[in-house]
């Protein structure tokens, strides 16, 4: 269970699958603790706990073609497929790359062999929201960002929004381009008039 050492892993990464791993870890731990408790009880008292009597009788009378075994088999296959999907489905990146080469001339390039500059998706959403709120006519705004798309939900007090949506998209797109996001995510917006 050792992890990578004292070198940095990449800032832009996919989800670490912590939730399914914690659930699987807790189940493993529970199974291990249960087994240890049962065997220690057996070693101390000389007899197995009475709660095993029922499962033992059930197991002794069980045939291979019992429907319960088929159900257990199906459940195991389903659980295995779910675990495999958790491991295989890559998930989205947590951050967007920023092109930092255009801000640094060749002569004044920093003495760094490998550079990585990123902005988290949450930060991109905040940046887009902040730029959106600076536009005249915008009452409130909420933004969500993925690595390819930034979506803004805007409320305006204007009865006739007119070209507000276009202005928002252009302003936010320009701000993201100036920031150096590479590639620049596509900006979409929905504008709703307050009643």
Partner 1 sequence: MRQTAGTLNRIWLAVLGILFVAAGAALLLQSNGTLHALLNTARFWESVVTGDLHAFFAQPWVAAFLLLIGVILAVLGLLWIIAQIPRKNTAGAYRLHDDGSQGFTLCDPSVLAAAVESRINALPGVVSSAVLLRGTASAPDLSLRVTVNDRADVQDVIHRIQTSTLRELSYALEAPLQRSQLQIEISGRSQSTGTVVHSTGTVVY
129-168: which residues touch partner 1 (CB under 8 A)? 130-131
Residues 91-120 close enough to bind partner 1 by CB under 8 A: 95, 98, 100, 102-104, 108-120
Residues 26-45 close enough to bind partner 1 by CB under 8 A: 26-36, 38-40, 42-43
Please say which residue, 79 or 149, places its beta carbon nearer to partner 1. Answer: 79
What DSSP character marks residue 39?
A: H
Residue 127 sits in the site that holds partner 1 (CB under 8 A): yes
Q: Are strands 186-193 and 149-156 parallel, antiparallel or unpaired?
A: parallel
Residue 15 sits in the site that holds partner 1 (CB under 8 A): yes
How many angstroms separate the CA atoms of 77 and 92, rounded? Answer: 27
Taking Cα atoms as reference points, which of 12, 33, 38 lies closest to residue 181?
A: 12
Please say which residue, 23 or 149, places its beta carbon nearer to partner 1. Answer: 23
**How many beta carbons lie within 10 A of that of residue 145, not counting itself?**
25
Residues 62-91 close enough to bind partner 1 by CB under 8 A: 62-66, 69-70, 72-88
**How many beta carbons lie within 10 A of that of residue 188, not counting itself?**
14
Residue 183 sits in the site that holds partner 1 (CB under 8 A): no
What are the two backbone dihedrals, phi and then psi, of residue 168, each rounded to the nearest 5 degrees?
Answer: -60, -50
Residue from 49, 92, 122, 149 in contact with partner 1 (CB under 8 A): 122
Please say which residue, 36 or 142, places its beta carbon nearer to partner 1. Answer: 36
Taking Cα atoms as reference points, which of 30, 33, 76, 34 lies closest to residue 55?
A: 34
Range in contact with partner 1 (rule: CB under 8 A) among 121-129, 148-156, 163-171, 184-192: 121-129
Contact between residue 132 and residue 152 where contact means Cβ atoms under 8 Å apart: yes
How many angstroms separate the CA atoms of 69 and 62, rounded? Answer: 9
Nearest distance from C-beta of residue 64 to partner 1, angstroms: 5
Nearest distance from C-beta of residue 192 to partner 1, angstroms: 23
């Amino acid at each position: 269970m050792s992890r990578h050492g004292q070198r940095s892993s990449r800032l832009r990464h996919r989800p670490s699958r912590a939730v399914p791993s914690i659930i699987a870890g807790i189940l493993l731990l529970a199974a291990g603790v249960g087994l240890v408790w049962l065997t220690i009880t057996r070693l101390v008292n000389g007899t197995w706990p009475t709660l095993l009597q029922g499962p033992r009788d059930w197991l002794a009378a069980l045939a291979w073609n019992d429907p319960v075994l088929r159900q257990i088999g199906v459940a195991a296959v389903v659980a295995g497929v779910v675990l495999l999907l958790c491991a295989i489905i890559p998930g989205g990146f947590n951050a967007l790359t920023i092109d930092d080469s255009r801000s640094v001339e060749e002569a004044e390039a920093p003495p760094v062999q490998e550079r990585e500059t990123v902005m988290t998706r949450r930060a991109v959403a905040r940046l887009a929201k902040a730029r959106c709120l600076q536009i005249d006519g915008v009452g409130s705004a909420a933004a969500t960002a993925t690595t390819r798309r930034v979506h803004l939900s805007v409320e305006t007090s204007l009865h006739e929004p007119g070209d507000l949506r276009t202005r928002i998209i252009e302003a936010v797109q320009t701000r993201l381009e100036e920031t150096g996001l590479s590639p620049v995510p596509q900006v979409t917006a929905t504008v709703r008039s307050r009643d």
